[in-house]
Amino acid sequence: MRATFLLALALVAPLWGQVPRLPNGKPDFSGIWQALGSAHYDVERHIARHSLMLREGPHGPLPAVPLLALGAVGAVPGGMGVVEGGKIPYKPEAAKLRDENRQHWLERDPEIKCYLPGVPRANYMPFPFQILQNAKQFFIAYEYAGAVRDVYFKNPGPAETDSWMGQSVGRWEGDTLVVEVSGFNDQTWFDRSGTHHSNQLVVVERYRFLSPNHIQYEATMTDPQVFTQPWKISLPLYRRMEKDARLMDFKCVEFVEELVFGQYRRKPLPR
């Protein structure tokens, strides 16, 4: 019995660590992936709270009035955080702006108006994304807002203009894909808690397999205008395993037209 078990284990064990590879031997990250957890609410460690916007109550904080009717749906679940060291190293003035952003979340969070999410936020929003890869190309399509990224393996030089998703340039370090992203505008956040940056942000991502169905994702942020030093996040990405897994349509621009442009109707609807 023991010999049979050991033989079965010897046959199966290599499959646990066998990652998909391209004909050139590099890891093949192709597939549909998604993060789990609460980093999209707040990348720092945080306890559960009433709402993304709070006001003082007689016995402690309460949801801000515009979010009161959301009840538990508008609450924030706790999370252990994905920031190494626990806290984002904001400069004092930048920390003050972050706190102001939190108090005006409903007006300021770019996600609410369906603006593109930026990097690294796109990778841990509560939506799947798909990697399409061959020996020369690496492309990421996100369900949220139809966002896309093309990772260049031949550096085209500095980005011609700042953009929401930046310009991604990749290289291999062994079996780890390293992607440097620059050329951002200053409009994206890292999560729903007001965490911001300037247009000097540079993000260095690292993708490596933990198993055939798990990617270890890391991103290091450098922005001397906003942070006192570079800081890093790390989290796993999970392969979607359903037999019909695919990206669905979530072209949310049309979902927010009334919010953004409804006031300009000839006869505005009640709000």
Q: Token digits for 165?
A: 């998703």
Nearest of 91, 78, 29 to residue 50 by alpha carbon: 78
Residue range 71-100: mean pLDDT, rounded: 97
What pLDDT shows up at residue 271?
80
61 has a pLDDT exceeding 50: yes
Q: Domain limits at 129?
A: 82-264
Q: How many domains does the chain have?
A: 1
> Tens digit of pLDDT for each residue in 219-243?
999 999 999 999 999 999 999 999 9
| 49 domain-assigned | no
| 184 domain-assigned | yes
Residue pair 86/51 in contact (Cβ under 8 Å)? The answer is no
What pLDDT shows up at residue 270?
87
| 115 domain-assigned | yes
Name the DSSP letter for residue 27: B
The pTM is what?
Answer: 0.90
Residue type for 261, please?
Answer: F
Residue range 56-63: mean pLDDT, rounded: 93
What pLDDT shows up at residue 4?
57
| 232 domain-assigned | yes
